[in-house]
Structure 1
Amino acid sequence: MFNDEPGDNETFLYKLERESEVQKLIAHLKRSKKTYVRRRAATMLGNIAEISDPNERRQAVKALVSAIKTDEDDSVRAAAIDALYQRGEDAFDYLVAEIAEMGGSEATERTATTLLTEWLSADHLEFRMVAATALGERGATAAVPDLVRALTDPAPRVRTRAAQACGRLSDPRVVPPLSERLSDGRQQVREAAANALGAIGTDRALAELVPVTQADEEGLRLIAVDELGQFGSVKPVVVLVDALDDDSTTVQRAAMLSLLELLTTASTEELELICGTVVDELARADIQATVPALLDIAADGTRRRYRQTAIWLLSRITGDRYRSEVIDCLLPAIDKPDEETAQLAEAVLPELRSPELEKRLRVYLSRERGSEEARSRAQAVLDEICDGSSGELVTTGVDYTYVDSPADYTNQHSSRD
Structure 2
Amino acid sequence: MTRLNVATLVLGLLAILAGLITTPSDGDSEESELEKGTSAFLKVDDYENALKLVEGFILENPEKPIGHAMLVRVLAANGQTEKAIKAYYQFYKLGETLSGELLGELLLGALNDDSSEVRAGATSVLGELGDNRAVPVLINLLNDNDSEVVLYAAIALGKLGDKSAVPHLVNVLNHDWDEVQKAAAKALGRLGDKSAVPHLIKILDDDNRWVQSKAAETLGELGDKSAIPALINALNDIVWVRLASAGALVKLGDKRGESVLIDSLNHDNSAIRRTAAKVLDKLGDGRGVPVLINALNHDYITVRMNAAGVLGEFGDKRAVPALINALSDDDITVRWAAAGALGKLGDNSAVDPLISTLNDKNIFAVEALGKLGDERAVPALINALNDDNITVRWVIAEALAKLGDKRGIPVLINTVNHGEGVPRWDPVDETLVVWNAATVLGELGDKSAIPGLIEIIGDDNQDMYFKFEAMKALVKLSQSTSQTGE
Report the TM range for the smaller structure's normalisation. 0.3 to 0.5
Larger Rg: 1
